């Protein structure tokens, strides 16, 4: 699990570098939501990892993990939908 968190963090860092160093400033806003998806994924994985490791400390560990998964899916879908809408609006106004 720690290796997965490290790999996604590395991909996130690489994406941020490409986003701000290589991509044309006029087209950056179309792909900004990808940075937010990576940020949410890293945050979720860290929270999920610590919930797994706190075996005896959490009274409802199974329920908390299920709620974390549901919250992650809802947040991910929301970011994707809002990012898609914003990128389409940017294309229309340019």
How does pLDDT run along the chain (94 residues), one tens digit per residue? 889 999 999 999 999 999 888 888 877 877 788 888 899 999 999 988 888 888 777 788 888 888 989 999 999 999 889 888 887 887 777 6
C-alpha closest to that of 15 among 31, 26, 3: 31
C-alpha closest to that of 80 among 91, 68, 72: 72
C-alpha closest to that of 90 among 39, 31, 36: 31
C-alpha closest to that of 29 among 84, 69, 78: 84
Return d(Cα 85, Cα 57) in angstroms, integer. 42
Return d(Cα 10, Cα 2) in angstroms, integer. 12
């Amino acid at each position: 699990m720690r290796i997965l968190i490290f790999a996604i963090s590395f991909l996130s860092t690489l994406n941020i570098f490409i986003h701000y160093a290589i991509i044309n400033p006029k087209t950056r806003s179309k792909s900004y939501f990808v940075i937010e998806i990576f940020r949410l994924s890293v945050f979720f994985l860290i929270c999920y990892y610590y919930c797994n490791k706190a075996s005896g400390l959490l009274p409802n560990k199974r329920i908390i993990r299920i709620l974390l998964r549901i919250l992650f899916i809802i947040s991910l879908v929301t970011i994707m939908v809002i990012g898609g809408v914003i990128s389409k609006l940017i294309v229309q106004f340019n």
